[in-house]
Amino acid sequence: MICVDIPGWDTLNIENIVFDYNGTVAVDGILTEKVKENLKKLSETLKIYIITADTYGNVRREAEGLPLAIETFSKGNATAYKKEFVEKLGSKKTVAVGNGKNDLEMFKKAVLSICVLGEEGCFSKSLIESDIVVKNIESVFAMFKNKNRIKATLRD
C-alpha cells in the first residue's frame, strides 16, 4: 500500500493500480524491458492490473512472469468494463492509468487518475477528466518512486 497525504485535497491510501495496455504501458502491443522492470518494482507496494481488449493478441506473452494480473474483455464494451473493474477493486483505493476514450469512465471512478500522453496521444476528454497528465509511462513510475511528485501536483 502507498499512502499520500495531499494538503487541501485528500489522503490517498492506494492498494491497486490499473493500467490500460496499448498506448499506456505498451506501444504497438510491446512492453519495453524498462517498463517490465518498473512494473516489477511497483508490484512491491501495489497490486498491479493490466486491463485490455488485447488488440495485438500478445499481452499474456509480453507480460509473462511479471507480478501482475491481466484482465481482458471483448472489444465492444471496454468503457463500461473498465469502470466496473475499478469499482470492483474499490474506487477509493485504486489508481487508473490510461490514455484512451475507453478509459474516461474508470478515470471518473478511481481515487486518482493519470493520463499518459504517449506515442499514441490521448483522448482529449480523458485528459481533461484525469487528475494528473504525464508525458510518458516512465513519468508514472517516477511518481510512485517519489510520492512527493503526486503531492506537489495535487496540493491546494
In tens, the pLDDT along 84-125 reads 999 999 999 999 999 999 999 999 999 999 999 988 899 999
pLDDT for 71 equals: 94
Judged by DSSP in three states, 13 sits in strand
- Which of 9-13, 47-51, 119-123, 144-148 has the least mean pLDDT? 119-123
Which residue ranges make up each domain of the chain? 14-154
The residues, ordered by sequence, that sit 6+ positions from 61 with a Cβ below 8 Å of its Cβ are none
pLDDT digits (tens, 9 = 90+) for 20-43: 999 999 999 999 999 999 999 999
Q: What is the CATH architecture assignment of 14-154?
A: 3-Layer(aba) Sandwich (3.40)
Band (77; pLDDT cuts 50, 70, 90): confident
pLDDT for 130 equals: 98
The answer, yes or no, to whether residue 45 has pLDDT greater than 80, is yes
The answer, yes or no, to whether residue 11 has pLDDT greater than 90, is yes
Band (68; pLDDT cuts 50, 70, 90): very high
* Mean pLDDT (whole number) for 121-149: 96
The pLDDT mean for the chain works out to 95
pLDDT for 120 equals: 87
The answer, yes or no, to whether residue 74 has pLDDT greater than 90, is no
Residue 116 forms beta bridges with which residues?
134
Calpha distance 56→54 (Å, rounded): 5
Helices (H), the chain: 33-42, 59-62, 78-89, 104-109, 124-129, 137-145, 148-154
The residues, ordered by sequence, that sit 6+ positions from 131 with a Cβ below 8 Å of its Cβ are 112, 113, 114, 154
